[in-house]
Amino acid sequence: MKSYKILAIIIALLALAWIVSGVIAPNDTVQTPPPAEQSEEKEDKLQKVRVRDLKSETYRDTVKVTGRTQANREVVMKAEIAGQISTVLLQEGESVQEGDILAELDVRDRQLREDEARQRLEQRRIEYNAAKKLAEKGFSSKVKLAQSTAEYESAKAALKQAALDIENMNISAPFDGIVSKQVVESGDYVSVGENLFTIVDLDPIELVGYVSERNVKDLEIGQIASATLLGGEKIDATISYISPASDDQTRTFRVILSAPNSDFAIKDGLTANLEIPTKDKTAFKITPSILTLDDEGRIGVKIVGAGDKVKFVPVKILNDAPDYMWVSGPPENARFITVGQEYVIDDQVVEPVLVEGDGLL
């Protein structure tokens, strides 16, 4: 029994000595993780982002507006002298060539007036020559000569007017076109300035539309365009005019397209849907989910540049569809951040995880 007590005491003393040795002389050595673990720990500190390399593409937008057709020229023929319409030679709706006579006025005494004016001119010429000779010889005053000169010149003008009145007895077409309106008939008496006919030129036909200030800067004279009539007929056209100033009410710009219409098949006043391709641009086709905002509220994308640093690039939206959009702004070749852009900031070094593919869609 005594030996058991002695053994227990020895074991207790040994245990106490071991405990005391750990308190008095603790082990200050800290284990250092292997180099491989240090490298992994450092890499874990970089934010990972998913990226995709993209090249810009050629993009051409199309401006679509509703417009209408119109004649490229229209003139209202008016009576230049008073008189009675004796004959109407061309009716409303008929084609005319430049110089064709549309109607004739009754000459009546117009020829007699011209003959009278010619005779009066001859009389005034004789009086003028006589007054001139007398004045040269001192038998007549300069006042008399001046009066004869004035009467002679007046007679010349009267004869010219009489001849012009006879020329104006015929109402002629000023250019090739169509008689779109006829407001006189044979037997009507017309006064000076009264409307007689309206002539329109439909070749080429013009198509007029109004373009927003956002799109007008991308248009230029001579650009190829097209138009579709309500009946489905498609017309090839070119831009012939762009208004230099916007409409005060709508803030839009008037644009005119011109298209061949030699058979006059396209009428004035038809509704047409105009499609005008804009100038080529370099742009990227992206999914809207990669867009983000900077601190100033500008919309843009984030790309990874040199040294794997993040860069915010503002973009301009050229076309917006439900599933994709075309934007410009980033450099021609760029590495877009597609996942994780909301968690990184400008100049932050990141770990890009490249995703292969031709686009972001």
Q: Domain-by-domain residue ranges, the chain?
A: 47-59+282-354, 64-70+201-277, 107-168
Task: Out of 37-46, 207-216, 221-230, 243-252, pick the least confident.
Answer: 37-46
At position 32, the amino acid (one-letter code) is T
| DSSP-assigned beta bridge partners for residue 77 | 197
Q: Name residues whose C-beta falls within 8 Å of residue 177's C-beta, 6 or more positions apart in sequence.
A: 71, 73, 95, 96, 199, 200, 201, 202
Task: Out of 7-21, 164-178, 222-236, 286-300, pick the least confident.
Answer: 7-21
Task: Tell me what percent of the residues of the chain surpass a pLDDT of 70.
Answer: 80
For residue 260, is the peptide bond before it cis, meaning its omega torsion is within 30 degrees of 0?
no
The span from the CA of 239 to the CA of 222, in Å, is: 5
The span from the CA of 128 to the CA of 140, in Å, is: 12
Residue 30: predicted pLDDT? 43
CATH homologous superfamily for the domain 64-70+201-277: Efflux pump adaptor protein, beta barrel domain (2.40.30.170)
Q: Where does the pLDDT of residue 123 fall: very low under 50, low under 70, confident under 90, or very high at 90 and above? A: confident
| DSSP-assigned beta bridge partners for residue 200 | 74, 178
Residue 359: predicted pLDDT? 61
**Residue 298 corresponds to which tokens in the numbers above?**
């500008």
Residue 126: predicted pLDDT? 77
Domain 107-168: assigned CATH number: 1.10.287
Question: How do residues 50-78 score in pLDDT, each as one tens digit?
Answer: 999 999 999 988 899 999 999 999 999 99
The C-alpha angle 234, 236, 237, rounded to 5 degrees, equals 130
H or E segment to which residue 254 belongs: strand 252-259
Residue 149: predicted pLDDT? 80
Cβ neighbours, 10 Å, residue 354: 11
Contact by Cβ (8 Å): 61, 218: yes
The C-alpha angle 35, 41, 45, rounded to 5 degrees, equals 145
The span from the CA of 11 to the CA of 8, in Å, is: 5
Contact by Cβ (8 Å): 66, 271: yes
Taking the model in full, what pTM does it have? 0.60
Name the architecture of domain 47-59+282-354: Beta Barrel (2.40)
**Residue 347 corresponds to which tokens in the numbers above?**
């100049």
Contact by Cβ (8 Å): 313, 328: no
Residue 60: predicted pLDDT? 86
